[in-house]
A and B are shown apart, each in its own frame.
Chain A
Amino acid sequence: MFDLVVLVILLPLLGVIVNAFFGRRLGERWVSYIGPGAVGLSFLVALILVLSLAGLPVDQRHHETILWTWIPIGNFQVDLGFLLDPLSAVMILIITGVGFLIHIYSVGYMHGDPRFARYFTYLNLFVASMLTLVLGNNFLVLFMGWELVGLCSYLLIGFWFERVSASDAAVKAFVVNRIGDFGFILGVMLIWTTFGTLHFTEVFEAAEKSLQSGAPVAIAITLLLLIGATGKSAQIPLYVWLPDAMAGPTPVSALIHAATMVTAGVYMMARSHVLFELAPFTGQVVAWIGAATALLAASIGVAQYDIKKVLAYSTVSQLGFMVAAAGMGAFGAAMFHLTTHAFFKGLLFLGAGSVIHGVHDEQDMRKMGGLRSSMPTTFWTFVVAALALAGIPPLSGFFSKDEILATASSQNIGIYLLLTIAAFLTAFYIGRQVLMVFFGQARSDVHAHESPRVMTIPLIVLAVFAAIAGFFNLPGVGSFSGWLGEQAGELNLAVAAISTLLALAGLGLAWLLYGRSPVQQDQRDPLAVRLGPVFTLLERKWYVDEIVDLTIARPFKALCSFLAGEMDLGIVDGFVNGVAWLVSLFSRWLRTIQTGFVRSYALAMLLGAVLLIVYVATR
């Protein structure tokens, strides 16, 4: 029966086919049944499968389904095969579950859009691709999902392709992800060259058997895989695509940031944890990259005005937490934070979408304010998610973040410090956002209205999970970690107390600046007043985009046009044409001998005869 796992992917794919070919004829009503319905059914199948999987003894929770041999080239054999085990089970539940809610929400959000059917085609494809990624039983099927997810993000970020900024952001997302793929695909090739297989279980068994901890090849493989992870999971230095990705419709941001796409890198590292455990050096690198990203992105989030941009940098920062956890070998904690984050970040984005919808496509928080009373459901659910993100107990974010902090405190004090500061900033920027958006007086003339029920019900469902998901994995009990075969996190009271206090302090600081006397229309940001140029630096995102443009994008374009112009047309083709020119020059000269005058020929003959005689005579 576990072969039904194919159905989990096939159902959304069916939605893709139906909506792509018949969507326009079917009309909005039918599309809005088919699109979300396909994912909903997929969720049901996934749920049944996972429950049956849980019914099995621990050592039997591993089922592979092979469709056919995908690439058969001699001893290079790769199956189109799928693997259902506790790790992929968690992922498919998140993807189809949260994905389903986002689909339903989208029915309201995209209502009336002329490309309604196309939107759901892409959205279903996104879910199907992500499911392929997490269900693949080898590195190449994973890579197929990996690339298709990148493609879907390209299609959806650029959904409103008439806007130049949207299509620019779409290309940026795809290209930056491809830079990451460069590392990933080389890693895959090194895996095959080393182990002679790409099949997960075979690779990991061979690695455990034949490699010692710290083996150079393990370090090389994991570092290459890490490059891929920094692309998909938006880590330094490849995080730059994610904040721009908000150019797409807001539910798409929710899907990218919560259920799909960015979790791929963390999932991939958790999947290959055997390899990462054999390479402690890589672990260190991963942990530092994660922690640095967490702090950098949080610092940027503090000084943004766009409601979605704050959340985008928040995602980068939270992914940093997960990556740091993975680097420290706490894969259970990483996956747990991934899960809770899927709930509260999905909720935050959908809430932001509801706000944007309510204030008629305004995204600047300086023009919002006072939405608490006009959008009560959105407000309350948003607050739940914000507190979960800030790490206020007993909401889910507290437990998952705390497990990571506790691990860091016992393993690496530097990383612990970076993450703790990031956690403080997190509480501050999300507090600032809630206060700027929902409190005080309205700072524009737009009359805000609450969103329709098709949008608010998903918010409520997500809010429930954002609140209670922490209890899946209580410290010391660790049912979630246990499910993944990991150790339960330990309760570290000191760490928990410090982080809770810092979270409260962050929220309190936000209240001091933005809550006590709410920002008025056209008033300068109180934080900007106090921080001055530092605020500008943060607002401009440490000028990273400008630096990238100056040091990479421009030189690249210059190199290309140099190669196309001076080099190709000038030197390479010039050489060819030069040869042709020399030949024609020579023949033009040769032609002058043939004057057609008999007397010159006779003269030449005479001269020749004389020379010949002289030569023979003097020899």
Chain B
Amino acid sequence: MNMTLLAVTFLPLVGALVLLLMDNQPSRRNPAVLRWTALGFSVFTFLLSLPLLLTFQTGAGFGSGDMSFVTDVLWIIPWGIHFHIGVDGISLPLILLTTFLTPLALLSGWTSIEKRQKEFLILMLLLETGMLGVFVALDLFLFYLFWEFTLIPMILLIGIWGSDRRVYAAIKFFLYTAVGSLLMLIAILALVVIHANQTGQYTFDLLALKAGLKLDPAAQIWLFLAFFLAFAIKVPLWPLHTWLPDAHTEAPTPGSVILAGVLLKLGGYGMLRYNLGLFPDAARTLAPAIAILAIIGIIYGALVSFAQKDLKRLVAYSSVSHMGFVVLGIFSLNPLGISGAVLQMVNHGLSTGALFMLVGVIYERRHTRLLSEFGGLGISMPIYAALMLIITLSSLAVPGLNGFIGEFAILQGAFATNWIYAAFATVGMILAAVYLLWMYQQIFTGEIKNPANAAVRDLNRREIWSLVPIVIMVFVLGLYPALFLNIIVPAAQSLASQVIQHAALTLQFPFLP
């Protein structure tokens, strides 16, 4: 029983319950008491998650069933459902990303969320526990529970606090995700039944299933695909991405931050933990096809991004491109690609999360997201321009900033698997410069033609301080990525070696005569 991880996972839920009991109308003396309570809980959750990083014993992780901070109690005994949680080098960085981004997301909606503030805060905290639960769950039932649990707060966030077409976007998001989830549920039940037929024992425990299950190739493929569909929609992998631009555009700023920052990573994490972890043979068989879809997504997302007129849609499509890198890295099936993919998930969470916060800033001031409405903001908002520049550069993978490390590791990993993958994916990296600089240029350069752009005030202190932590991490992870890589790499190596059986951890150097 490890209290730290338990506390980290459920503290936001406690916060939500506390908020529930609080007065709907905050006292006159302190109108922001609800917000401060929510922020306090999320900050405390983050602080509590730091010991996880500091005391983590680097180990092989899930690949060899070596998890840390484990709590395992039998929960629903007849079906062998456990309350089993724990982390390894793949989930830990994502947990930290979640606890790091949630308070910042709350700050980004500090003044812009005006109606039903209490409900909003409760949903944000529920969402945090849901996401953390997905990353820590080591029992399929528990995992599915948390997985679906993230869905409800997000739909409500979009549907209640979103902009004009919010209901359409929320329903689309729901239907897309539900279709994937249902197939995954069937696959989970099938796994349990097959295991019970083989061993006579019902269990949903992930480690037990992974160790005890023997699947014939055809079954592996079908089960792999059932899981994969759910994760591919979440990531999103081309061509299952069309819910994303709508959801992002309509969601309120904090919702977009969490959606891009963490929710998409549930898909990438799922692929690593379940697709690679449970069905290694199927993963090997299907890897080339998936890698091709990922590459199409990388290039397609970038090209479509370039043609957007709406700032939020542009950033949303850039996510399609960037998350394509994650999938490509995972299905390179080597330690480089997988490590890069995990790091890229963290980096994308930071930079795209920050991008959505920045977009929120300007939307709050100008009430428009159309790029053509801006121009010349570099004159009236110099601090905003500078922060946006750093985040943009991080997103387009300038070395020295965080984005580069993950993308390069992925490309190098893909190259080692098949150089043609890398050649095409690198095009995506080039195109990122095109659409992101195009975006930056339209917002900040040129003369101010629209008088509304001359009057906007620069960032206030709250906005600056909600972005500074991300900017610091952008530099830290860009110059000293070992902070996370030391944790990620052993887990990635054991996972990769498990998928590529017998293949040594050292890569072959095929070009040397």
From B308, B411, B437, give the contact of A171 (CB < 8 A): B437
Interface contact A194-B303, CB-CB below 8 Å: no
Which residues of the partner chain B approach A457 to less than 8 Å between Cβ atoms?
none
Taking A186-B426, A580-B175 as contacts, is the C-beta distance between A75 and B506 under 8 angstroms? Answer: yes
A305: B residues at CB distance < 8 A: none
Known contacts being A210-B513, A563-B304, is A182 close to B335, with CB within 8 Å? no
A→B interface (CB under 8 Å)? 68-76, 80, 140, 143-144, 147-148, 151, 154, 158, 161-164, 166-168, 171, 174-175, 178-179, 181-182, 185-186, 189-190, 192-196, 210-211, 215, 217, 557, 559-561, 563-565, 567-568, 572-573, 576, 580
With A73-B336, A73-B489: A164-B398 Cβ-Cβ less than 8 Å: no
Docked-complex contact B427 and A68, CB < 8 angstroms: no
Out of A70, A151, A161, A576, name the residue touching B479 (CB < 8 Å).
A70
Closest chain A CB from B188 CB (angstroms): 24
One of B38-46, B83-91, B415-423 contacting the partner: B415-423
Contact B419 A73 (CB under 8 A): no
**A189 to B393, Cβ gap below 8 A?**
no
Does the CB pair A148–B400 fall under 8 Å? yes
Q: A161-B444, A161-B445, A194-B509 are in contact. Are A189 and B412 (CB under 8 A)?
A: yes
Q: Do A71 and B405 have beta carbons less than 8 Å apart?
A: yes
B378 touching A185, Cβ below 8 Å: no
Q: Please state if B335 and A161 are interface contacts (CB–CB under 8 Å).
A: no
Q: Is the CB of A193 within 8 A of B399?
A: no
Residue interface bits B399-431, CB-to-A below 8 A is 1, else 0:
110001100110110011001001100110110
Distance in angstroms between the alpha carbons of A483 and B437 in the assembled complex: 42
Nearest chain-A residue to B375 (Cβ)?
A164
Report yes or no: B335 in contact with A73, Cβ–Cβ below 8 A: yes
The reply to whether A140 and B422 contact each other, CB–CB distance below 8 Å, is no
The reply to whether A76 and B412 contact each other, CB–CB distance below 8 Å, is: yes
Which residue on B lies nearest to A166, using beta carbons? B445
Complex contact A148–B398 (CB within 8 A): yes
| New A-B pairs, 5, CB < 8 Å, besides A75-B506, A182-B427 | A162-B445, A182-B429, A564-B308, A567-B304, A572-B239
Choose one: A168, A215, A573; the contact of B513 (CB below 8 Å): A215
What is the CA–CA distance of A73 and B404 in the complex, to the nearest angstrom? 14
**Which residues of A lie under 8 Å from residue B429 when comparing CB positions?**
182, 185
In angstroms, Cα B411 to Cα A221, docked, is 16
Listed by A's residue number, 23 A-B pairs whose Cβ atoms lie within 8 Å are A68-B482, A70-B482, A71-B481, A140-B399, A147-B400, A151-B393, A166-B445, A171-B441, A175-B430, A175-B434, A178-B434, A179-B430, A185-B411, A189-B419, A192-B412, A193-B416, A193-B509, A193-B510, A194-B511, A557-B306, A557-B307, A561-B307, A572-B241
Report Cα–Cα, A545/B444, bound state, in Å.
Answer: 25
Contact A147-B445, Cβ < 8 Å, known A76-B412, A193-B415: no
Closest 6 CB pairs of A and B: A167-B445, A564-B307, A144-B399, A560-B307, A573-B242, A161-B445
Which DSSP category, helix, strand, loop or mixed, fits chain A's interface? Answer: helix
CA distance A410 to B496 in the complex (A): 55
Closest to B434 in A: A175
Contact yes or no, A560 B445, CB < 8 A: no
> Which single member of A76, A167, A179 contacts B441 (CB below 8 Å)?
A167
Q: With a CB–CB cut-off of 8 A, which chain A residues contact B404? A: 144, 147
Q: How far is the CB of A532 from chain B (nearest CB, A)?
A: 38
Task: Compute how far the CA of A313 lies from the CA of B379 in the bound complex, rounded to whole angstroms.
Answer: 32
- CB–CB A76/B307 < 8 A: no
Complex Cα distance A73/B393, Å? 23
Q: Is the CB–CB distance between A73 and B409 below 8 Å?
A: yes
Which residues of B from 458 to 494 have beta carbons under 8 Å from A? 479-482, 485-486, 489, 492-493
Residues from chain A with Cβ under 8 Å of B426 in the complex: 182, 185-186
Q: Do the beta carbons of B307 and A161 come within 8 Å of each other?
A: no
- Rounded to whole Å, the gap between the CB of A115 and the closest CB of chain B is 9
B300 at the binding interface (Cβ < 8 Å):
yes
Q: Output the least CB separation between B345 and chain A (Å).
A: 15
Q: Contacting B485 at CB < 8 Å: which of A68, A73, A158? A: A73
**Cα(A567)–Cα(B433), bound, Å:** 23
B-side contacts of A217, CB under 8 Å: 511-512
Chain A: minimal CB distance from B380 (Å) = 12
Q: Is residue B65 within 8 Å, beta carbon to beta carbon, of the partner chain?
A: no
Min Cβ gap A470→B in Å is: 37
Whether B376 is near chain A, meaning CB under 8 Å from some CB there, is yes
Check B507 against A75 for contact (C-beta < 8 Å). Answer: yes
B447 interface hit (Cβ, 8 Å): yes
Q: What residues on B are CB-neighbors of A74 within 8 Å?
A: 335-336, 339, 489, 493, 505-506
Q: Which residues of A contact B445 (CB under 8 A)?
A: 158, 161-162, 164, 166-167
- Chain A residues within 8 Å of B242, by CB: 568, 572-573, 576
Q: Does B79 interact with chain A (Cβ within 8 Å)?
A: no
Q: Separation in Å of the A141 CB from the closest CB of chain B?
A: 9
User: How many Å lie between the Cα of A148 and that of B493 in the bound state?
Assistant: 32
Q: Are A143 and B399 in contact (CB under 8 A)?
A: yes
Which chain B residues numbered 424 to 456 have a C-beta less than 8 Å away from chain A? 426-427, 429-430, 433-434, 437-438, 441, 444-447
Q: How distant is the Cα of A147 from the Cα of B393 in the complex, in angstroms?
A: 11
B438: chain A residues within 8 A (beta carbon): 171
Query: Are B513 and A76 in contact, with the CB atoms below 8 A?
Result: no
A163 to B376, CA, bound (A): 10
Q: Which of B308, B433, B479, B489 contacts A175 (CB 8 A)?
A: B433
C-alpha gap A182/B303 in the complex (Å)? 16
User: Interface centre among A154, A174, A557, A564, by most B CB within 10 Å?
Assistant: A564
CB <8 Å contact, A161 and B378:
yes
Q: How far is the CA of A178 from the CA of B397 in the complex (A)?
A: 11
The interface residues of chain A lying within 8 Å CB-to-CB of B336 are 73-74, 76
Q: Which residues of chain B come closer than 8 Å to A69, judged between CB atoms?
A: 482
In Å, the complex CA distance between A302 and B194 comes to 80
Q: What residues of A have a CB within 8 angstroms of the CB of B505 in the complex?
A: 74-75
Inter-subunit contact B308/A162 (CB<8 Å) = no
Residues of A within 8 A of B433 (CB): 174-175, 178
In the assembled complex, the CB of A128 is this many whole angstroms from the nearest CB of chain B, namely 11
**A563 B303 Cβ-Cβ under 8 A:** yes
Across the interface, do B303 and A559 meet the contact criterion of CB distance under 8 Å?
yes
Q: Please, how many angstroms separate the alpha-carbon atoms of A512 and B201 in the complex?
A: 101
A161 adjacent to B446 (CB under 8 Å): yes
Q: Which chain B residue has the least Cβ–Cβ distance from A67?
A: B479
Could you tell me if B481 and A174 are in contact, using CB atoms closer than 8 angstroms? no
> In this complex, which of B306, B489, B506 has the most chain A Cβ atoms within 10 angstroms of its Cβ?
B306
On chain B, the residues within 8 Å of A580 by CB distance are 175
In the bound complex, do residue A76 and residue B409 qualify as a contact, i.e. CB atoms below 8 Å apart? yes
Cβ of B339: which chain A residues have Cβ within 8 Å of it? 73-74
Q: How far is the CA of A70 from the CA of B492 in the complex (A)?
A: 18
Contact across chains for B422 and A186 when beta carbons are under 8 A apart: yes
Smallest CB–CB gap between B400 and chain A, Å? 5
Most chain A CB neighbours (cut-off 10 Å) among B399, B412, B506: B399
A193 to B304, CA, bound (A): 32
Assess the B393–A193 pair: CB atoms within 8 A. no
Question: B267 within 8 Å of A by Cβ?
Answer: no
Judged by a CB distance under 8 angstroms, whether B159 is at the interface is no
Chain A residues with Cβ below 8 Å from B353 are none
A167 to B389, CA, bound (A): 14
A162 partner residues in chain B, CB cutoff 8 A: 376, 379, 445-447
Q: In whole Å, how far is A205's beta carbon from the nearest beta carbon of chain B?
A: 13
